[in-house]
Structure 1
Amino acid sequence: MPPSRPPCVAVRVPVGPLSLLLALSLLSPWGSAGGSCPQRCVCASNLLSCSQANLSAVPAPLPRFTAVLDLSHNNVTRLRADWAPARLPHLHALLLSHNGLAFVSTEAFTHVPRLRHLDLSSNRLRTLDENLFSDLGELEVLLLYNNEISTVDRTAFENLGRLRKLYLGQNRIARFPLELLREGSRLPQLALLDLSANRLRAVPAGELQALPAWLRDRLYLHNNPLACDCLLFQLLDRGRRRHLSAVEDFQDELRCFLPGASSLTKILDLAGKQPLNCSKAREAVLEAHLGDTVTLGCDSRWQGVRSRHWVTPGGERVLGDGANGSVVLLANGSLQLRALRPEDGGTYSCWVAGPLLNETLYVELLVHNFTLHGPHDTLNTAYTTLVGCILSVVLVLIYLYLTPCRCCCCRGTEKPPAPRDDSINSSVLSATPNHAGGTGEPCGSHLASGAGAGQNGRFKGGGSPPLPARQGPKAQRKVSDPDSVSSVFSDTPIVV
């Protein structure tokens, strides 16, 4: 029989205030392992708030487990490289707004590589130096608005491959940083760029129009002293028709200077207004020629599109390659048309299922009825008829006025009389009157130097010798000439 176990006895251990504080310090990240909460700061879990604490420098040492550090509304005018002497691997948000900050070291972010949110707004920064933020490879949001920034180094935003939102509004920037937006540039994931309330006088409207709509929807250009331009008007007018928030929400603040004017004009009111007289551009119209290969882009406002499909002008839904391989649905949602035909023209529809709402885009394709290089493959029927009529008129004129005349050049010379029996060969339907002898010799062969003489002084056979001169009052009468006017009712020539 196994021995019985002794009964369990509860032992009461006295707990004092010191032991309770020790237990809480072991559970809190601000315990001995992580450091103590700095003076004049409020610590809650991994949050450290030192806002409005009248600090002139970053408090030290900072707890290692700090994830959010709020230093806004203080007097930290310089952010040196040693503000964080130890590595802060968990810090992902740093707030330094409203500090009068005028200097930031290029090595200031060496010990905070996991930073995702950086707020440097409402300070006195004037320049963004070379490789200033290059250590922040995971940064997603950068706030630099309401500073005095006038110079931005081309490499200031190097290595920011994950940056999605960049706020540069209310500064003194006079040159548009187009390199931030070009495809494959330093900021491949940039989805919002705020350049409002700066000193921009011109923007590359043509290149901005080529940007995807989801980026143009978050490109803010209002409150800049822009010069009025029709390309700028068409860029913003397309954005208004597409209901892009950067245009639709700031229509009154989008203004420009007309040439010679001292006051600002609303950019969206430039349609038909002198002296520019801008015209509204058609939305998504693509022109091509026979045999070309074109790609129709589905320029949606939404990022992270779940699905999309195309509908042809004939109402057919495109799910993959066409029957003959002439229609291809690309991986990025664009529709490619190969070896264009006249019947491929029309309005194509792209149906987009976005994360919030659905969107339908329309692309009008105009196919010109000829190839881009070389002669036209087909001619318009009216054009062909016109060419034929003109050619016929030219041929008739050539026939009437440029046909060689056999006798008109010889009216000034005395011609030998034709035999009277030649009149029987005359006809009112004959194009050319019969000549003496019927040999068809040109008039130039009848020389005045000798009657009946041919070329080289030889006698020309087939010619009729001239009649001897008659005496008397009838001597002035001539023998009937075949070239004289004939009656249309008689085959006998009229003798003059």
Structure 2
Amino acid sequence: MLCAQGVAAPLMLSSFLLQLVRADLPSGCLIASDILSCTNLGLKTVPKKFLVMVATLDLNHNHLECLDEGSFAGLPNLDTVRLAHNQLSGLTPGTFRNTSNILHLDLSSNQLNIIEDHYFQELVGIKELLLYNNRIVTVESKALSGLSNLRKAYLSHNRLTDFPFFSIQQHPNLTTLDLSSNRMPTLPVKAITALTEKVQNGLFLHNNSLICECSMYSLFKQWEYRGFASVTDFREEHTCLIYGEQRAIVRFLKHVRFFENCKIKPPVRKVSLEAEAGDSVMLDCITSLKGKHLNYSWVSQRHGYIVPPGNNNTLRMYSNGSLEILAAHKNDSGVYLCMVQNHQESSNDSLEVNVTVQIHRQEEEPFNTGFTTLLGCVVSLVLVLMYLYLTPCRCWCRKQPLPATPSPANECSAQSSILTPTPPATTEGSGRKVSNNKHVVFLEPIEKAQNGRPRAALALEHPKLAVTRSDADSVTSVFSDTTIVP
């Protein structure tokens, strides 16, 4: 019972504090976990106090006309703010002060006219910015330049007649910029082509008031060749005005007759291909052009200009534009350029294939490996023979008269047997040789005699090698270069 009361007390206190905090919020606000929703309550100002743990603040569908300085300060966990469908016509400097943790900001469906430089300068971590369906006519050059983490910006359905594309050239994370359904008559083609490929892939410019011209057509045609989503996803919505007349609208990606006189240079697509010498290699000329009147040709540095049926000796060309290298040679490596032309539609395409022919060396590898193994065996055998027969010796290798009886010279032979890996050919008894299958005698530690002089320990284990002379004579006979005659 005490335990149950101990648990209930903090819960009651927490509920009481929560009611105190909620007393400052407008009636009708809903709280769920870290989400605070105060939508469609007719609010004209932002509430002064919020719950500290709020991460998502939803104030959509109200009558907010302005935002005061620091309107969202004191919310360390706030990362999403939704202010869509209000009546905001501008933002006070410092509106988002101390809110650098905001990642998503929705200001769509308001009455914003100008996106000034100071609007979002505090939102250094913002990733998604929604500004569509406003009355924006101008975006100042520094409004988005400082937002290095910005990934998606939506400004469609506004009144833009131009946009500072140069201000987003260094954006490392920007992948989507929606400028569709505005009033742009022309496009700064050079500034747009200077953007990264990632930005161009997500740059949506359809449903504008573009005037039909070759530079504009060439830009979108190149995007089509490269398969950019900004073109392929809205192919039918890309329109332009012939001579600027509103009544003469053409879907220029579908009907290209008006641009027959435009010199369009599509981007060169590149493909790499590896082959082995002697194999047949097929180079396919893949093109986005369609029709029955396509003319194919190939150009290479070695073979020059290639047309059907090709060079019968080394090359063969087919009607679909494919080029076959009958028996690839190392000299066939290089760049092969396929060019496709459609004379009826005055369009062309190109494909660059980089061919690398490698020499097949699989048959040589066993010989090289076997030769290396054989050489290693021969060297090892020579080293073993040198080790067995050319080991240096100081005593028994010399030509000396063999004494009739054991002498200190025999001690030298015994000592040399200790120092050499093979046993010496000594005699035992009357003319009998020692067996050659005896184990090698390794060097044993030297013991000291009672008088402090060293004495060979081997003599203790082998009685036949024991000497009858004094220790001094034995040591002299072992370590001297001359034989001691008894």
Q: CA offset at residue 137 of structure 1?
A: 0.7
Aligned position for 1:273: 258
Aligned position for 1:45: 33
The correspondence of residues 123-134 of structure 1 with structure 2, limited to 5 A, is 123-134=110-121
Structure 1: distance between partners of 2:127 and 2:276: 43
The correspondence of residues 236-255 of structure 1 with structure 2, limited to 5 A, is 236-255=220-239
Q: Residue 283 and residue 66 in structure 1: after superposition, are their counterparts in 2 closer, same or farther (change >3 A)?
A: same
Structure 1: distance between partners of 2:143 and 2:10: 47
Q: Which amino acid aligns with 1:311?
A: S
Per the alignment, in what secondary structure is the counterpart of residue 105 of structure 1?
coil
Aligned position for 2:136: 149
**Corresponding position: 1:257 with 2:218:** no
Q: CA offset at residue 21 of structure 1?
A: 7.0
Aligned position for 1:13: 2
CA offsets 1:430-473 (integer angstroms, 9 cap, x no match): xxxxxxxxxxxxxxxxxxxxxxxxxxxxxxxxxxxxxxxxxxxx
Q: Which amino acid aligns with 1:217?
A: N
Question: Does the CA contact (< 8 Å) of 2:68 and 2:92 recur in 1?
Answer: yes
Structure 2: distance between partners of 1:21 and 1:236: 68
Aligned position for 2:96: 109
Aligned position for 2:268: 284
Per the alignment, in what secondary structure is the counterpart of residue 166 of structure 1?
strand
Q: Which amino acid aligns with 1:119?
A: D
Structure 2: distance between partners of 1:204 and 1:29: 58
Question: Does the CA contact (< 8 Å) of 1:34 and 1:65 recur in 2?
Answer: no
Aligned position for 2:215: 231
**Corresponding position: 1:98 with 2:85:** yes
Q: CA offset at residue 181 of structure 1?
A: 3.3
Aligned position for 2:56: 68
Structure 1: distance between partners of 2:276 and 2:250: 44
Question: Does the CA contact (< 8 Å) of 1:132 and 1:157 recur in 2?
Answer: no
Question: Does the CA contact (< 8 Å) of 1:206 and 1:231 recur in 2?
Answer: no
Q: CA offset at residue 58 of structure 1?
A: 1.1
Q: CA offset at residue 168 of structure 1?
A: 0.8
**Corresponding position: 1:200 with 2:188:** no
CA offsets 1:222-261 (integer angstroms, 9 cap, x no match): 1100011222222222333333221122122211112264
Q: Which amino acid aligns with 1:197?
A: S
> How many percent identity over aligned positions?
30
Per the alignment, in what secondary structure is the counterpart of residue 240 of structure 2?
strand
**Corresponding position: 1:217 with 2:190:** no
Aligned position for 1:120: 107
Structure 1 alignment gaps of length 5 or more? 1-11, 286-297, 299-309, 317-339, 349-360, 366-496
Per the alignment, in what secondary structure is the counterpart of residue 243 of structure 2?
coil
RMSD: 3.5
The correspondence of residues 372-387 of structure 1 with structure 2, limited to 5 A, is none
Q: Which amino acid aligns with 1:112?
A: T
Aligned position for 2:286: none
How many residues get paired? Answer: 291
Q: CA offset at residue 362 of structure 1?
A: 5.7
Structure 2: distance between partners of 1:258 and 1:138: 43
Per the alignment, in what secondary structure is the counterpart of residue 268 of structure 1?
coil
CA offsets 1:398-421 (integer angstroms, 9 cap, x no match): xxxxxxxxxxxxxxxxxxxxxxxx
Structure 2: distance between partners of 1:364 and 1:161: 37
Match of 1:311 among 260, 266, 272: 272
Per the alignment, in what secondary structure is the counterpart of residue 188 of structure 1?
coil
CA offsets 1:298-337 (integer angstroms, 9 cap, x no match): 8xxxxxxxxxxx7257689xxxxxxxxxxxxxxxxxxxxx
- Structure 1 runs of 4+ aligned residues shifted over 6 Å read 31-36, 313-316, 340-343
Q: CA offset at residue 265 of structure 1?
A: 1.2
Structure 2: distance between partners of 1:344 and 1:211: 31
Structure 2 alignment gaps of length 5 or more? 278-299, 303-332, 339-349, 355-486
Question: Does the CA contact (< 8 Å) of 1:271 and 1:280 recur in 2?
Answer: no
Question: Does the CA contact (< 8 Å) of 1:170 and 1:198 recur in 2?
Answer: yes
Match of 2:168 among 181, 203, 213: 181
Structure 2: distance between partners of 1:164 and 1:195: 14
Q: Residue 363 and residue 80 in structure 1: after superposition, are their counterparts in 2 closer, same or farther (change >3 A)?
A: farther
Aligned position for 1:326: none
Structure 1: distance between partners of 2:69 and 2:89: 14
Question: Does the CA contact (< 8 Å) of 1:121 and 1:143 recur in 2?
Answer: yes
Give the structure with the higher percent helix: 2
Q: Which amino acid aligns with 2:53?
A: F
Per the alignment, in what secondary structure is the counterpart of residue 2 of structure 2?
coil
Q: Residue 114 and residue 29 in structure 1: after superposition, are their counterparts in 2 closer, same or farther (change >3 A)?
A: farther
Structure 2: distance between partners of 1:344 and 1:231: 33
Structure 1: distance between partners of 2:276 and 2:166: 41
Structure 1: distance between partners of 2:162 and 2:154: 15
CA offsets 1:60-84 (integer angstroms, 9 cap, x no match): 2111111000000001111111423
**Corresponding position: 1:346 with 2:330:** no
